A = this chain, B = another copy of it.
Amino acid sequence: MLKSLFDEQKLSPVNSNFRFGGGERKNDEWGGLSFHNKEHDISVPRVEKKAGVSAKQGSDCSLAFKKPQCVRQQDRQEQQQGSGSKEGMAGHQCGSVLVTGANRGIGLELVKRFLGKPNPPKTVFATCRDPEGARGQELKSLTSKHPNLKILQLETTDPASVEAAAKKAEAHLGGSGLNLLINNAGIMPPCTLESATSKDMLDVYNTNLVGPMLVSKAFLPLLKKAAHASQQKGMSCGRAAIINMSTILGSIEKTPESYFFIPVVSYRCSKTALNMLTKCQSMGYKEEGILCTAVHPGWVKTELGSDQADLTVEESVNGIMNVLCNLSEKQHGVLVTWEGKVLPW
């Protein structure tokens, strides 16, 4: 899919000097972006590149993932050994988490990580459109090992489906709230200014903006319940949070760096709107103590990101898990990268 975009733009991601994230990329470029508000950055120390993470041939990618402040000794050892399955979120006990679009890519990897934690959530809700279909089987196979995994059918753009899933989750939680909602489901079809149609724009907006809006609204009572029941005072993913999976491609300020490489106009517009929704949620839900943050996962080798992307799913989710662990009110209403750096709008 992306290949066709590259061809259309007469640019090859391999032959071009362009690197996702800007110009001739330096090793530390993702960390060296001109962030407009450094006070929001999560200041966690960098550790050496993880063993077993192979840089893409010909790429100057050097993912330096971060050691979470709240990581346990056991996790730290595993990180350094390259197991990469249990880092992050260890300090904050998260009672329950829900991930949309959880049957593949980043969503599936997030579910695996939560399930693999030494102190996993009591319930991990994993939602997808068709859990019984062929594309739901990898997710489904996890249930045999993890009784705390609860798969929910959810079409995020269908209000009835969203309401039904929220009722099932409420029943399953038996009086407890939902601590962490990760709006991960999204689509990125090819779309240029020339090719864009009304249907393209509306379909992508429906999935990438309306879906997260409906899901957040439906699960809000459970998030409020978790926030109020928590003994924590500050904001965190362990207490109550909405994480909207956004992208640097939704940053208007950063658009010139990537536009000709990957125009995806419908996707960009929808994700910029998702950033605004995140800001609105951060305003509306602040009093409730619900953390609202948008996260850029990097350019990841998924069905959406293509196999030409910089990061493996594991590398991206390493970073995201660490970021989630460290989020606080400082990142409320902010767009952060999988490395915890704030991006400009």
Contact = CB atoms under 8 A, between A and B. Distances in A.
Interface stretch (A55-63, A143-151, A194-202): A194-202
A283 B269 contact: no
Nearest to A250: B276
Contacts of A198: 157, 159, 206, 210, 214
Interface in A5-28: none
Given A193-B217, A193-B284, A202-B210, A275 B259 contact: no
Nearest to A334: B252
Interface in A250-296: 250-253, 255-256, 259-260, 263, 265, 268-270, 272-273, 275-277, 279-281, 283-285
Nearest to A260: B283
A248 interface: no
Nearest to A263: B280
A234 to B, nearest CB: 19
A260 B209 CA distance: 21
Contacts of A268: 276, 280
A221 to B, nearest CB: 12
Given A193-B217, A253-B345, A268-B280, A210 B206 contact: no
A181 B276 CA distance: 26
A235 interface: no
B206 A202 contact: yes
A9 to B, nearest CB: 11
B252 A276 contact: yes
A21 to B, nearest CB: 17
A339 to B, nearest CB: 21
Contacts of A345: 251-253, 344-345
A37 B253 CA distance: 11
A36 interface: yes
Given A276-B252, A345-B344, A159 B263 contact: no
A283 B255 contact: yes
Interface string A321-345: 0000000000001000000000011
A280 B270 CA distance: 13
A166 interface: no
A272 B279 CA distance: 11
Contact of A273 (B213, B251, B253, B269): B269
A205 interface: yes
Contacts of A216: 193
From A197, A250, A276, A284, residue with most partner B Cβ within 10 Å:
A276
Interface string A233-255: 00000000000000000111101
A222 to B, nearest CB: 16
Contact of A283 (B251, B256, B270): B256
Given A192-B284, A193-B285, A252-B276, 14 more contacts: A193-B216, A194-B217, A198-B214, A201-B209, A202-B206, A209-B269, A250-B276, A252-B279, A253-B345, A256-B279, A265-B280, A269-B276, A270-B273, A345-B345
14 contacts: A193-B213, A193-B280, A196-B217, A198-B206, A205-B205, A213-B265, A253-B345, A256-B283, A256-B333, A259-B280, A268-B276, A269-B273, A269-B277, A270-B273
